[in-house]
Amino acid sequence: MAVNSPLPVSADLKPVAGIELGYAEAGVRKANRKDVLVMKLAPGATIAGVFTLNRFCAAPVQVCKTHLAQASDAAPIRALVINTGNANAGTGEEGLARANATCAELANLLGVKPEQVLPFSTGVILEPLPVDRIKAGLPAAIANLKTDNWFAAAESIMTTDTQPKAASRTLTIAGKKVVMTGISKGAGMIKPNMATMLGYLAFDAKVPQTLLDQLVKDAADQSFNCITIDGDTSTNDSFMLIATGAGELEITSADSAEYKELAAAVSALSQNLAHQIVRDGEGATKFIEVTVEDGSSVEECRKIAYSIGHSPLVKTAFFASDPNLGRILAAIGYAGVDDLDVSKLNLYLDDVWVAKNGGRNPDYKEEDGQRVMKKSEIVVRVKLARGTARASIWTCDLSHEYVTINADYRS
Amino acid sequence: MAVNSPLPVSADLKPVAGIELGYAEAGVRKANRKDVLVMKLAPGATIAGVFTLNRFCAAPVQVCKTHLAQASDAAPIRALVINTGNANAGTGEEGLARANATCAELANLLGVKPEQVLPFSTGVILEPLPVDRIKAGLPAAIANLKTDNWFAAAESIMTTDTQPKAASRTLTIAGKKVVMTGISKGAGMIKPNMATMLGYLAFDAKVPQTLLDQLVKDAADQSFNCITIDGDTSTNDSFMLIATGAGELEITSADSAEYKELAAAVSALSQNLAHQIVRDGEGATKFIEVTVEDGSSVEECRKIAYSIGHSPLVKTAFFASDPNLGRILAAIGYAGVDDLDVSKLNLYLDDVWVAKNGGRNPDYKEEDGQRVMKKSEIVVRVKLARGTARASIWTCDLSHEYVTINADYRS
């Protein structure tokens, strides 16, 4: 299931000069599906990432952080390897050894050092990584490395996703062309905290490492860090931003107009990829934006927005198209904003004013709420009358299909 | 659906001297069901309560707090009135007026003052309370006031509950007999914060107000404040403890052995009532205890226990009897205990040692996990190796039936 399927993803994703992609069917968990992806970066590329804050962060995430910290101009990151079917999380020392073994094998095949490879895994937690099958699949992945393999790459990182997630954009900044393409995956265990599992976005402008580090954080905060499907923060969340430097634009300062334009484009494309994840949320039939306005801080707006977005009662009401909107008030009330004066609170569902000054709006009619609830895209807007801060998050409903998918995931 | 139904609830609930109960079919939301309950207290009774911390606390909760604060020896609380079908929450000033009107009507019929009545409501939020129908039902409720109406009282406060929840106990403290009976309701919007919606426990010992205030807090903290079904804290949670004083025992000091014995019995019976709520959780097929041990504080143990108990992925795995136990590690990891050293963490499922020092226990066998997951009562035990604190919470699984119930609740 997916909201408004099929998604506007097609095969006309733009190649980004300086990056090649190759996949394999390695049989990590199931046969006959793309489950290993290699991304090869040309010399001159910079890369930055943000990772899950889950304390059980997976072995590949730990290896990624180490390799990124060790990377230098003399020995930059040159390749990424991603497998589905197994998260290599909750696997202790042996998990680290297997993530490192994967890097070593790919490094050997590409003629680089193991520290120049970043590993990523997604799938079941607490099971040993079948590292031999992954290693055996690498030659095939390398054999089909191509710059125009983005769609196949998006397919090869899917798990419970029903559709590949990808987006592409070409823009001109200061008269110079920039090509930007990204892919992401994820449909359950989605409440990213720093990034989601998994997103990769590359463009061909040249950006110094320190600026790229900032850029990836800003983009994640405005996109992947604003979505939730089930409130479960994954052990493997990773969002990587790659500047190949093989195109026309070169960024030298964070204060430049060029940087700001590039950052806005990266955020917009990241948001697009993040929304694709919510639209393909496990069992999702509706795409819901929750915006909280007039708060005293962004943090309290986010707290309330997430409280609404995580409530199983709110989510099932959306699934049923039932304007049982008191459940939204209850979720606002227990969000943990202790000094909230509910008598000043207003609630809107799209253009319908539902709650006025903390109570039912006398002009609110059930049929108006019903009309909005039947839509597949809905905006919930809460006005707090406490200040000028605002925040939006994006989420989906909770359906029978979610239970079915997650009751059957491993079988 | 209910775990291990039918519950061990029968009609042999002990009357508590000093308290009479009467119900009516007032048609608050639906016809032909008991939906109004009156509890009448004899002179000499003391009463104390704990209420929801939800900022959208319902009108009746606000009125209860006011009336409890005003109560005195000269004008003590003499009656409670409870309706189902409508929560009278998110209803603003008009909601307060209607809660007060209900109190005034009952007070008039009983010959007491409105401030001597406590009102309670449970049901749909954000809809006007049909106060005229409730008032019209009160004479019938008063006409059937009886001391042995506890089972009918438990039935009359049900909403999505599939079974009435009640328990009774007779004990002897310092040679004096104490009779104790309680009822509760709730199956969804259950993650009590101070108390659950709704619980009433009465006994016939005499207890001064200050001690009763402490007793109700302690009992709630060890029972209703340790359960969760869907993480949604209700707007109407209330737990009331009544000491009728009509029996043999009189408590005069919190330091007495008698007080400690009574407090232990109240906590045990409260826990029993709280467990009944979880066992009848909307769609529940399994009753799950999550115990976190060896923590550095009770608070962090509770954080981790609730993180596990709220995870939709963990709950659907229990529903499916699928030992996809990595999901439990993920939930521990994102619980917000930032300095948690996962390499010292151990996880058990009943007697099965699943994760050892943060990774899969080499001796763990999938079939052992499977065996436990198939049971209808399961203990998840997490050992943190950080200290000596511990906490337990009780929860249930997440099934198709939960979605069905909450998608259909108002229809």
CB contact under 8 Å between A406 and B91, yes or no, is no
In chain A, residues with a C-beta closer than 8 Å to the C-beta of B408 are 320
Chain B residues touching residue A92 (CB < 8 angstroms): 343, 357-360
Query: Which candidate from A93, A330, A411 shows the least CB-CB separation from B322?
Result: A411
Q: Do B92 and A125 touch (CB under 8 A)?
A: no
The rounded distance, in Å, linking the Cα atoms of B66 and B70 is 6
Answer with the one of B229, B258, B277 that is the final residue of a domain: B277
In the predicted model, is pLDDT for residue A107 greater than 90? yes
Amino acid at site A6 = P
Place of tokens 């190796």: B385
Whether a cis peptide bond, with omega within 30° of 0, leads into B198 is yes
Report the residue from A189, A329, A342 with minimal CB separation from B330: A189
CA distance B121 to B243: 22
pLDDT at position B195, please?
Answer: 52
Q: Is residue B156 part of a domain?
A: yes
Q: Do residues A47 and A162 share a domain? A: yes
The pLDDT value given to residue A294: 97
| A338 CB within 8 Å of a chain B CB | yes
Asked if B338 reaches chain A (Cβ–Cβ under 8 Å), the answer is: yes
Interface of A with B in 46-65 (CB under 8 A): 53-57
CATH number of B65's domain: 3.60.70.12
Report if residue A12 sits inside a domain. no
- Whether residue A232 contacts residue A272, with contact meaning beta carbons closer than 8 Å, is answered with no
Measured distance CA(A226)–CA(B150) in Å, rounded: 49
pLDDT in tens, chain B (411 residues): 567 644 555 567 999 999 999 999 999 999 999 999 999 999 989 999 888 888 888 999 999 999 999 999 999 999 999 999 999 998 889 999 999 999 999 999 999 999 999 999 998 888 899 999 999 999 999 999 999 999 999 999 998 888 888 988 899 998 999 999 999 888 777 777 655 678 888 888 899 888 899 888 888 888 888 888 887 787 878 888 989 888 899 998 889 999 999 999 998 888 888 888 888 888 899 999 999 999 999 999 999 999 999 999 999 999 999 999 989 998 999 898 989 998 899 999 999 999 999 888 999 999 999 999 999 999 999 999 999 999 999 999 999 988 888 887 665
Q: Is residue A130 part of a domain?
A: yes
Q: Quick check: B188 and A313 CB within 8 A?
A: yes
B300 shares a domain with B191: no
CA atoms within 13 A of residue A230's CA, in its CB half-sphere? 31
Residues A361-370, mean pLDDT to the nearest whole number? 94
Q: Which of A133, A80, A83, A138 is nearest to A109 (CA)?
A: A138
- CB-CB neighbors (< 8 A) of A403 in chain B: 316, 319, 398-400, 402-403
Distance from C-alpha of A253 to C-alpha of B155, rounded to nearest angstrom: 70
Q: Is residue B6 part of a domain?
A: no
- The single-letter code of the amino acid at B39 is M
Task: In whole angstroms, give the CA distance from residue A17 to residue B407.
Answer: 49
Q: Are A209 and A246 in contact (CB under 8 A)?
A: no
| Nearest-neighbour CA in chain A from B40: distance (Å) | 30
Establish if B1 belongs to a structural domain: no
Predicted model pTM: 0.83
What percentage of chain A carries pLDDT values higher than 70?
96
Q: What is the pLDDT of residue A381?
A: 98
Q: Which of B124, B129, B313, B374 to mutate to test the interface with A (most CBs of A within 10 A)?
A: B313
Q: Which of residues 132-161 of B touch A (CB under 8 A)?
A: none
Tell me the pLDDT band of A305, cut-offs 50, 70 and 90: very high
Identify the pLDDT of residue A195: 52
Residues in chain A closer than 8 A to B397 (CB atoms)? none
> Residue B363: what pLDDT?
95
Q: Looking at the domain assignment, is residue A11 inside a domain?
A: no
- Say whether residue B87 is in contact with chain A using an 8 A CB cutoff: yes
CB-nearest to A90 from B53, B57, B359 is B359
Q: Are residues B184 and B291 in the same domain?
A: no
Q: What is the pLDDT of residue A9?
A: 57
Q: What is the pLDDT of residue B374?
A: 95
Average pLDDT of chain A, as a whole number: 90
The two counts, helices (H) then strands (E), for chain B are 11, 15
pLDDT at A194 exceeding the cut of 60: no
CB–CB contact B230 A55 (8 Å): no
What is the per-residue pLDDT for B6?
Answer: 47
What is the residue range of A398's domain? 287-408
Chain A 369-408, CB below 8 Å of chain B: which residues?
Answer: 398-400, 402-404, 406-408
Q: What is the pLDDT of residue B146?
A: 96
At B317, which CATH number? 3.10.20.340
Say if the Cβ atoms of A329 and B90 lie within 8 Å: yes
B-contacting residues of A 181-200, CB under 8 Å?
Answer: 188-189, 191, 193
Pair A146, A272 in one domain: yes
Q: Are residues B306 and B363 in the same domain?
A: yes
Which residues of A are the active-site residues?
196
Question: Given a cut of 80, is residue A138 above it in pLDDT?
Answer: yes
CB of B411 within 8 Å of any CB in chain A? yes
B199 to chain A, closest Cα gap in Å:
19
ipTM entry: 0.79
Q: Is B196 a catalytic residue?
A: yes
All residues of chain B having their beta carbon less than 8 Å from the beta carbon of residue A55 are: 332-335, 337-338, 340, 342
**C-beta of residue B151 within 8 angstroms of C-beta of residue B164:** yes
Tell me if B401 is assigned to some domain. Answer: yes
Same domain for A70 and A35: yes
Structure tokens at A111: 């003629």
Q: Same domain for B53 and B178?
A: yes
**Within this chain, do residues B273 and B317 fall inside the same structural domain, yes or no?**
no
Q: Does A334 touch chain B (CB under 8 A)?
A: yes
Q: Structurally, how many domains does chain B consist of?
A: 2
Q: Is residue A335 part of a domain?
A: yes
Whether residue B208 is found in the same domain as residue B313? no
Q: If you average pLDDT over residues A286-294, what whole number do you get? A: 95
Q: Are residues A299 and A273 in the same domain?
A: no
Strand, coil or helix: A125: coil
Same domain, B124 and B220: yes
Q: Are A230 and B94 within 8 A, CB to CB?
A: no
Judgement on whether residues A232 and A292 belong to the same structural domain of the protein: no
| Among candidate residues A261, A279, A297, the one where a domain is terminated | A279
- Is the pLDDT at A90 greater than 90, yes or no? no
Among residues A215, A247, A279, the one where a domain terminates is A279
> What pLDDT was estimated at residue A218?
87
B76 touches chain A (CB under 8 A): no
